[in-house]
Each structure stands twice: as C-alpha cells, then as structure tokens.
C-alpha cells in the first residue's frame, strides 16, 4: 500500500510539473526606444535591469491545469519609437467558451523581464503585480488589480493601480501620492505642500523628500500607499 501511495504522489508531482510551460522571448532595444509590456493576465511581473541593449521575457505559464498552455505565446510589435511586448492566447478562451459555455478560467502566469538600464518602461496588466529590487530610469504602471513594489529607485516613477497597494523605498523625491479609499503610510521626513494654510495629508500627500526633484506619482483607488526611507 505504501508503494502505491508513493507512486501516486510521484505521479501527482509529475503532472503538476508538466502543467507548467516555460516561454521565452528576446528582442533588441535601441537606446531611444520605450518598452511597453502588456501582459493581460499575470500573477507576478518581476523587472530586472541589465547592461544589454535587449529585452528578455521569461514566462512560466499554467492555464486551466495545462489545457491552454500551448495557446500562449509572447509577441512583439514596433510602434514608432515604442517596442511593444505582449502576451497572446490565440483563440483558446473563445474556443473554450463556445465548447463548454464557460467563461471562467484559471491562469497562473509569472513573468521575469530583463530590460536595459535607464530604459523607459510601461507595464500594463489586468491582474498582475509588479516588483523590482532596484530600478533606474522611467517606469509607468497601469494595473487593474495588482500591487507595485519598488525597493530602490532612481528616476521618474508614475505608478497607477485601481485595486492594489503601492510600496516604494526612496531617498530623495518630489512626491504626488493619492488614494481614494486607502491610507498613506510613511516614515520619511516630507516637506509638505500646503493649501490655504493646511497641509495635505490622509489620502493625499504632495511634497518633497531631501529636496529631491525626481517626480514620483502614486495613484491607487482602493489600496494603501507605503513610502519608505531608503
């Protein structure tokens, strides 16, 4: 009986491994190009900068327990001075809906993106969270349901999410932070702007840290904002 249980566990583990599909794409990036990452469905999107003139995307994909994995691909499109890298699911969701009359799907997709240092990047996703241990350059996010975590940065940040938290560690900055239903937390010494003699606070903070001039714009509707001392 023990042998049967062990075999069953091994088979289960093997099926889980087989359900994951690895997809990679590498594309050259010129010094004047902006990189637009549009990953419709995602769990985590990790940004790593390197000293190469190319963008590399590594995706770990599992769609409906592996049923839709082979339909997934990464594609690129040149749009003027912009390089767009995006996820594509072919006709899988449409075929599934027609076949099973079922619109709900389970996707587990993690991305690791290597991008040139000091590049201008925009990330758009419905369900992904963005993170970077260190970021230099211009970064914009446009998320529906996801968090953004930047542990160290240099450059301009314009971070937006509808339902998620924004967490940024900084040393010097010019801040414009706003949340609709969340709260702003910070251990920074912020020189607050005032209006009619009253300081901005609560769910809106405008000011500077250590006389910084690099702009950080943080916007979330139903999440908190954390601004941490570096």
Whether pTM exceeds 0.85: yes
Domain edges within the chain? 18-127, 130-230
Long-range contacts of 181-185 (CB under 8 A, 24+ apart): 181/221, 181/222, 182/220, 182/222, 182/223, 182/224, 182/225, 183/224, 183/225, 184/224, 184/225, 184/227, 185/224, 185/225, 185/226, 185/227
146-182 per-position pLDDT tens digit: 999 999 988 899 999 999 999 999 999 999 999 999 9
Give the pLDDT band of residue 2 (cuts 50, 70, 90). Answer: very low
- Average pLDDT (121-136) is 96
Of residues 93 and 37, the one with the higher pLDDT is: 37
């Amino acid at each position: 009986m023990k042998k049967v249980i062990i075999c069953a566990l091994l088979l289960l583990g093997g099926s889980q491994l087989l359900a994951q599909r690895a997809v990679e794409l590498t594309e050259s990036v010129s010094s004047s190009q902006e990189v637009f990452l549009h990953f419709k469905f995602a769990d985590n999107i990790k940004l790593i900068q390197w000293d190469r003139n190319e963008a590399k995307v590594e995706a770990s994909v599992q769609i409906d327990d592996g049923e839709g994995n082979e339909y997934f691909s990464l594609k690129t499109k040149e749009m003027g001075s912009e390089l767009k890298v995006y996820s594509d699911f072919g006709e899988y969701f449409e075929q599934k809906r027609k076949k099973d009359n079922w619109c709900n799907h389970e996707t587990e997709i993690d991305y690791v993106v290597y991008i040139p240092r000091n590049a201008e990047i925009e990330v758009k996703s419905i369900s992904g969270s963005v993170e970077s241990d260190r970021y230099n350059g211009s970064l914009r996010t446009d998320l529906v349901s996801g968090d953004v975590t930047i542990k160290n940065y240099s450059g301009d940040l314009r971070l937006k999410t509808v339902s998620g938290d924004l967490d940024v560690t900084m040393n010097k900055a010019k801040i414009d932070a706003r949340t609709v239903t969340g709260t702003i937390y910070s251990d920074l010494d912020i020189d607050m702007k005032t209006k009619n003699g009253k300081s901005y606070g609560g769910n809106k903070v405008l000011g500077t840290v250590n006389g910084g001039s690099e702009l950080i714009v943080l916007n979330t509707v139903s999440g908190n904002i954390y601004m941490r001392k570096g």
